């Protein structure tokens, strides 16, 4: 029977044939498992028959919705080691991750098999599972509590159950909460929670969600952070009266030529509506090096921005911190030992002045 043929190419053709019966697919898994876990000439033949990766057979079987559940379970439990063990290796080989990733996309997986895979050691496998249609709420919650932030981030962008989004909205990582805040499927009750988040980046993300009701938009339109208010001004659902009060926060298109320095600013400072400290923090992250340099010289720039700039790869930015009259003494002492002599000199002069 072709399903037990030792030739790799023949097996691959059998696996990819849409008319191959499920029983034959199961036989291939079992025979490959046995030959892999019991090193012999068959395995060596398989490896030499297709230079590179003979796991193509198992990848195809793992993703085939017609493969019997018992065969899929062998792959889910990584019972097939997939290669002839190296007697010199301390750690035995395991099933190739790419096989289990293919399995994670198989629409025929049962909740029992998914329960095995949510514990898989490969992060990419668990990320793939987040999109599986057969996830139960209990499995969703396990993925929402995954130790890897990448798994939780993907879960936060999917049409997950409300209980999952509620859990992720309280995640300790800001990046995860931002993903929930921008998710168009996030319910209003969760958006309300995120609109009051202590982190302004999360509130900004919530303010940009096109599903926000007027009540929350009104709340965020009065936020202390200018970037939150700007997001409200740019939200298509924001009522015209609120947008009018925030019109100065939206950069208006212009056909006039502007200088490179002005192009490096998100917007110009408006003393009537803007908080200077917040604006300085924005300018310090400009893509324009000159804008960053001038901003770092301002005595009112937040200390946390100065602390970050003191570690900058640009000596000019470190010099600006050293020369800033508002720089804390601990930072100036640090820069007094800087690798650049100009930075050192500025820090020492200002320390003694």
Q: Compute the average pLDDT of residues 31-38.
A: 52
Q: What is the pLDDT of residue 11?
A: 60
CA–CA separation, 243 and 250 (whole Å)? 9
Does the structure show a pLDDT above 90 at 52?
Answer: no
The alpha carbon torsion through 148, 154, 160, 164 (nearest 10 deg) reads 30
Scored b (16 or more CB within 10 A) or e, 59-72 reads bbbbbbeebbeebb
Residue in 245, 241, 193 with CA at minimum distance from that of residue 214: 241
Note the pLDDT tens digit of each residue in 307-345: 888 888 888 999 999 998 889 888 888 899 988 999 999
Does the structure show a pLDDT above 70 at 86?
Answer: no
CA–CA separation, 211 and 180 (whole Å)? 13
Residue in 187, 111, 175 with CA at minimum distance from that of residue 142: 111
Other Cβ atoms closer than 10 A to 348: 17
Please state, rounded to an integer, the average pLDDT across all residues of the chain: 80
Sequence spans of domains, the chain = 1-104, 260-352
Note the pLDDT tens digit of each residue in 125-137: 999 999 999 999 9
């Amino acid at each position: 029977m072709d399903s037990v043929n030792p030739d790799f190419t023949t097996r691959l053709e059998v696996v990819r044939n849409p008319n191959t019966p499920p029983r034959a697919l199961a036989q291939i898994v079992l025979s490959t498992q046995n030959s892999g876990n019991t090193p012999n000439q068959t395995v060596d033949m398989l490896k030499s028959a297709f230079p590179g990766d003979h796991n193509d057979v198992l990848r195809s079987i793992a993703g085939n919705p017609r493969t019997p559940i018992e065969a899929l379970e062998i792959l889910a439990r990584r019972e097939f080691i997939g290669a002839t063990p190296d007697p010199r290796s301390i750690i035995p080989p395991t099933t190739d991750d790419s096989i289990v990733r293919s399995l994670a996309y198989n629409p025929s997986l049962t909740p029992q098999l998914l329960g095995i895979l949510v514990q898989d050691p490969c992060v990419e496998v668990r990320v793939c599972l987040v999109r599986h249609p057969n996830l139960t709420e209990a499995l969703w919650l396990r993925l929402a509590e995954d130790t890897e932030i990448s798994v939780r981030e993907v879960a936060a962008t999917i049409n997950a159950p409300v209980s999952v989004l509620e859990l992720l909205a309280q995640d300790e990582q800001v990046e995860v909460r931002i993903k929930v805040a921008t998710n168009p499927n996030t319910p209003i009750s969760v958006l309300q929670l995120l609109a009051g988040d202590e982190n302004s980046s999360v509130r900004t993300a919530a303010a940009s969600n096109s599903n926000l009701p007027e009540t929350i938009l009104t709340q965020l339109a009065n936020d202390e952070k200018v970037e939150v208010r700007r997001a409200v001004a740019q939200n298509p659902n924001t009522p015209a009266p609120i947008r009018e009060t925030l019109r100065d926060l939206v950069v208006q298109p212009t056909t006039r030529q502007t200088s490179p320095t002005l192009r490096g600013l998100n917007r110009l400072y408006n003393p009537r509506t803007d908080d200077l400290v917040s604006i300085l923090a924005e300018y310090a992250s400009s893509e324009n090096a000159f804008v960053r340099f001038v901003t770092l010289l301002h005595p009112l720039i937040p200390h946390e921005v100065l602390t970050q700039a003191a570690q900058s790869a640009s000596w000019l930015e470190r010099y600006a911190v050293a020369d800033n009259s508002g720089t804390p003494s601990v930072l100036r002492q640090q820069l007094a030992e800087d690798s650049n002599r100009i930075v050192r000199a500025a820090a020492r002069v200002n320390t003694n002045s």
